[in-house]
Amino acid sequence: MYLTKRLIREHIATGEEIWLNALSGAIDKLSEVEVALVERSLGGQRGGGSLIARLRSRGYLFDNAADEQSRFRRLVAEFGREQHGAVTHLVICPTYACNLRCVYCFEHRSHPNLPREMMDIDAVNHVFDAFSRIRRLYPSRNYALGLFGGEPLMTSTRFVVSRILSRARKNRLPVMIVTNGVSVASYLPILEEHQSDIQALQLTLDGPEEVHNQRRPDAAGRGTFDAVAAAVDILLEKNMHVVLRVNVDLGNVDELPRLAKVISNRGWSEASSFSCSLAPVKDHLGSGAIPNVPAEADLLSALFDVYDRSPESEKIFGLKGLQVLGQLSALLGSGGSSRPKIYHCEANHGGFWVAGPEGLLYACPEAVGQPDLAIGRYTPAFEVWPQRMEPWMGRNINTLNACRSCEVGPLCGGGCAYASLAGKNTTPGPSCAAGLARALSVYLSRRAVQSCQGKKVRVRS
C-alpha cells in the first residue's frame, strides 16, 4: 500500500491531524488512533478496514506509486482536452501611460523605461489582423478581448478605444476593460454605445477614502476615491457588470471592514452585476521597490484576524482572489468537482496574447513593455517567435520535473512563469512561492479546523 506524496498534514492542538490531499481536494480530520492505524497498514500489518477503504476512495492511498502517477496523468490528459474549448484573452494596451501614481505599481516602479508609444488607428488594424491569425491557429478555442494598460481609458486614447470596441463588435468578441475608473464618467457615451459588447469593467478601490487616496493618487497627487466610487455607482445604475478589485497588503488589510461598509452602504453588494475580490500586492521581481509586500502567511494571518472581527468583510471579499489559497478554497468548496491546478495561470497554455503599443506581443499582461520577454510582434508583420514562447507554453506540474511529486504542486501549478523569466531564469523551472507551506498551515489551522470541530467528515471551506 502507498500513501500519496501530495499529502499535507497539519497537527492541531487536540492531538488530531488535518490531512489535505492537494490532488483530489479531499480534506479529513484523523484521530491519533486513526493515524497509527494507517501507519501500521503502510508497514504491512492488517486492520483498519473501513478507514483504509475510505482513505483509498478519497485518493490518499494507492496500491503503489505507479497507480497514483496513472491517476495524475489522467488528470493532466483531461486538462489538455479541456483546453480545446478554453477562453483565450486577446489583450490590447493602447498605451503604457497612466494618470495615477499608485505606490505599488509594478509597471512603472519595476520598469521605469517603458516605451512611450501610443497606438494609432493603423496599429489597431495591425493588432486585429494579428488576432485573426491567432484565431486561425487555434480555431477550437473561445476568444475574448481585454483592454489593459497603463490606463486604457485616457483622454488621449478615446478615439483609439472607440475604434477597438467597434472592431471587437465586428469580430464578435466580448470585452473586459481593466481601468482605474477615474475617467469612466467622460467615457460613458462610448461605454453605453458598446454596452452589449462589454462583459465587465474592473475598477480598483483600495480602502475607505483616505486610505485609497494615499495609495492611488493621480499624477498631481490628488485623491481619486470620489471619482472611482462615482464610476461604480453610475456603471451599476446602467446595469453594467463591475468587478471591484482591492489590492491588499499589510498597509490596508486592517481597513477592509471600513471598505466593506462603503460597499454595503452604497448598495453595491446588493447589485447582481457587482462582484469583488482581493488581489495581494506582489513583487515578482524581488526588487524591494514596492512597500508593504508581506509573506503570504503573514497576510493571511492578518486577513483572518480581520475576518474574525468582521464576518461581513469575509462575505464580501472572501479568498478567491488569492491564487493558491483561492485554489484551495475552490477545491474544498466544490465537493471534489474542482480540478487541481495543473498550470499556474492562462499564460502557460496560450491563454493570453497581449499587444503593446510598441508593436510587440506578450504571453502575460505583467510582461508588457519588456521587449526581452516578447513572444512575437504584430507590426510591421505578424510574427510568433517559438523559442521565446517555449518557456511560457506547456509549463505545468507535469512538465516541470520538480513539481511532479511536490505535495503542493496541485495548488500552485508550478508558480508564476513571469517571476521566473523576469528574474532571468531562462531554464524552465518552478517559481515556488516563498512561505507557501506556512500559509497553508495558517489556512488549515484557522479555517479548516473551525469547519470540522467534533466531526470526522470532509471539511467545507
For 232-296, the DSSP string reads HHHHHHTT--EEEEEEE-TTTGGGHHHHHHHHHHTTGGG-TTEEEEEEE---TT--S-STT---H
DSSP 8-state secondary structure symbol assigned to residue 446: I
Specify the DSSP element, H or E, that contains 175.
strand 175-178
- Identity of the amino acid at 288: G
- Rounded to whole angstroms, the Cα distance separating 164 from 121 reads 9
Q: CA-to-CA distance for 45 and 2, rounded, in angstroms?
A: 13
CATH topology of domain 87-461: TIM Barrel (3.20.20)
Question: 130-134, 147-151, 261-265, 456-460: which range is least confident on average?
Answer: 456-460
pLDDT recorded at residue 77: 83
Cα separation, 79 vs 74, whole angstroms: 9
Domain ranges in the chain? Answer: 2-63, 87-461
φ, ψ dihedrals at 115, nearest 5°: -55, 145
Residue 452 binned pLDDT confidence (cut-offs 50, 70, 90)? very low
SS3 at position 187:
helix
Dig out the grid coordinates for 298 from the structure.
503573514
Separation in Å, CA 264 to CA 258, 267, 270, 278, 410: 10, 5, 8, 16, 36
Share of the chain above pLDDT 90, in %: 56
Q: Residue 137: phi, psi to the nearest 5?
A: -70, -35
For residue 423, the model assigns a pLDDT of 66
> What DSSP element (H or E) covers 383?
strand 383-384
Query: What are 28's strand-pairing partners?
Result: 19
What's the pTM value of the predicted model, to 2 decimals?
0.89
Q: Coil, strand or helix: which one is 107?
A: helix
For residue 459, the model assigns a pLDDT of 35
Whether residue 192 is predicted with pLDDT greater than 70 in this model: the reply is yes
**Which residues have a Cβ under 8 Å from the Cβ of 95 and sit 6 or more positions away?**
117, 118, 119, 149, 150, 151, 152, 154, 156, 157, 357
Q: Are strands 242-248 and 198-204 parallel, antiparallel or unpaired?
A: parallel
**18, 12 contact by CB (below 8 A):** yes
CB crowding 232-270: b at 16 or more within 10 Å, else e: beebbeeebbbbbbbbbbebbbebbbbbbebbeeeebbe
Assign 148 a pLDDT band (cuts: 50, 70, 90).
Answer: very high
- pLDDT category at 461 given cuts 50, 70, 90 is very low
In 138-201, which ranges are continuous DSSP H helix? 158-170, 184-193
Does pLDDT of 221 surpass 90? Answer: yes
For residue 6, the number of C-alpha atoms closer than 13 Å in the C-beta half-sphere is: 30
